[in-house]
Structure 1
Amino acid sequence: MSETYLPSCCSPLHDHWPLPQALPGVQLLSTRFTAERLAAEDFGRCGIAPVPGVAKRQTEFLAGRLCAREALLRLTGQAQVPPIGADRAPQWPAGVVGSITHGNGWAAALVARRSAWRGLGLDVEQPLAIARAERLAAEILTPDELRRLQPLSAAQRAWRVSLTFSLKESLFKALYPQVLRRFYFQDAELLSCGEDGQARLRLLIDLDREWTAGRELQGQFGEFQGQLLSLVAIPA
């Protein structure tokens, strides 16, 4: 096992901030990964328990956990690998919140102390093609969100559907560890998204006594290496 071994399927870990607004006390690490370069011994040499699945699934998992371990090392001084919980979510150390995402050969993890941030949700998505966005729009968007699409061009609609999907994924990742209740695309709505990369979302159902219908949350988003990246962060 080595906490410094970097498998050839992953690029050197990068600590840049690819979103519009940096958050104090938050560590974000990312890497690019190539499934074809995954070696059978990489999990063992990294000291990370392997997961079943095809090479792509294994490589994105390994890449995400490597990012999470380095982010935790920088935050806490301890290089820990968050295990998978019974609900398939990462299990972060006590006093820490975090999120992992991966897609299209890129993986990232961000962590922070719970005393500063109550929840973090990070999501990366490949923007949907126009035809696919049109097919999926009614599944992802509420009736009000669909109405707001009407004045937009086909390309703008596809981008908005992609953004809404990503922001709602980030919202779920940020809130689920607090409420321990699953909720779905129709249970929240995107109220606004500006050219400055800032977004506003609103819950449409009660998740618990605190997170009730009508509660609004702030998000941010940006395009990075041809992908769409979004973050919902809930201050303490």
Structure 2
Amino acid sequence: MNRLPTCCAPLQHHWPLPRPIPGAVLVSCAFDPARLAADDFQRAGIEPNASLQRSVAKRQAEYLAGRVCARAALLQLDGRDYVPATHADRSPIWPAGIRGSITHGKGWAAAVVADAASCRGIGLDQETLLDEARAERLAEEILTPAELQRLDRSQLALSVTLTFSLKESLFKTLYPLTLQRFYFEHAELLEWSADGLARLRLLTDLSPEWRHGAELSGQFCVNHGQLLSLVSV
């Protein structure tokens, strides 16, 4: 049927981040789990798996919103009508020759896609800004000792949220290329600037190409208490 689910607001085709990625398409939408209708999956033409059918409304709505965005992004990119299924590790299954990433947070979802010929890997992550108290509690779990030393405590909540989000985006970028899991302590945020640009470094070997010391660029934006980050290669 391929209509917009009741729980989703109209799609936005935009690029809210500071630096466009050539050939990449980003689509987002707001969603409300309280508005999830019994026929929303059928309405959207998306088949939920058994696990998703048993899950709560929040999980169903965020999955549905993310897949609706992904399908719209692919349609804009190359005209194909395709909804990414899910690997056993819960990562999306993209068509051959496509790189992509899906993210969802509190009432908002987005997907970004690009042709593999122009983009080898791409990761997108959205987070609600932490409050100061939670940022203080989580800092030592998320930040490396070097990051803690560089931490600007006048921007504690933003710094910790940004480090978390960029490392999530980094994982989404490199995991499909290496099939190696890594964690917060295996990468560090070297620097970031108010104009939304950042630089990260790997602290572990993932593959012969992606080794300890490799550096990658990232970018981010903050709107209404929500942080969106992206890493690409």
- TM interval, shorter chain, is over 0.9
Matched, 1:8 2:36: no
Aligned-partner Cα distance in 2 for 1:152–1:133: 10
| Structure 2 residue identity aligned to 1:57 | R
User: What's the counterpart of residue 152 of structure 1?
Assistant: 153
Structure 1 length-normalised TM: 0.95
User: What's the counterpart of residue 46 of structure 1?
Assistant: 44
User: What's the counterpart of residue 196 of structure 1?
Assistant: 195
Aligned equivalent of 1:128, options 110, 126, 130: 130
User: What's the counterpart of residue 77 of structure 2?
Assistant: 75
Aligned-partner Cα distance in 1 for 2:158–2:222: 11
Aligned equivalent of 1:85, options 87, 92, 96: 87
1:176 CA drift (Å): 0.4
Q: Note the residue ranges of structure 1 that are not aligned, 5 or more in a row.
A: none
**Runs of 4+ off more than 2 Å:** none
What per-residue deviation string (whole Å, max 9, x for no partner) do you get for residues 144-183 of structure 1?
Answer: 001112x522xx1121000000000000000000000110
Aligned-partner Cα distance in 2 for 1:107–1:44: 19
What per-residue deviation string (whole Å, max 9, x for no partner) do you get for residues 9-61 of structure 1?
Answer: 10111111111111110011000000010011111121112223110110000
1:138 CA drift (Å): 0.7
Q: Note the residue ranges of structure 2 that are not aligned, 5 or more in a row.
A: none
User: What's the counterpart of residue 60 of structure 1?
Assistant: 62
Count of aligned pairs between the two proteins:
229
Which stretch of structure 1 is more off in the superposition, 92-101 or 19-28? 19-28
1:221 CA drift (Å): 0.6
CA contact (8 A) 1:18 1:224 kept: no
What per-residue deviation string (whole Å, max 9, x for no partner) do you get for residues 64-116 of structure 1?
Answer: 00000011111121110000001110010000000000111000001000000
User: What's the counterpart of residue 25 of structure 1?
Assistant: 23
What per-residue deviation string (whole Å, max 9, x for no partner) do you get for residues 163-219 of structure 1?
Answer: 000000000000000000110000000000011111000000000100000000000
1:21 is paired with a residue whose SS is coil
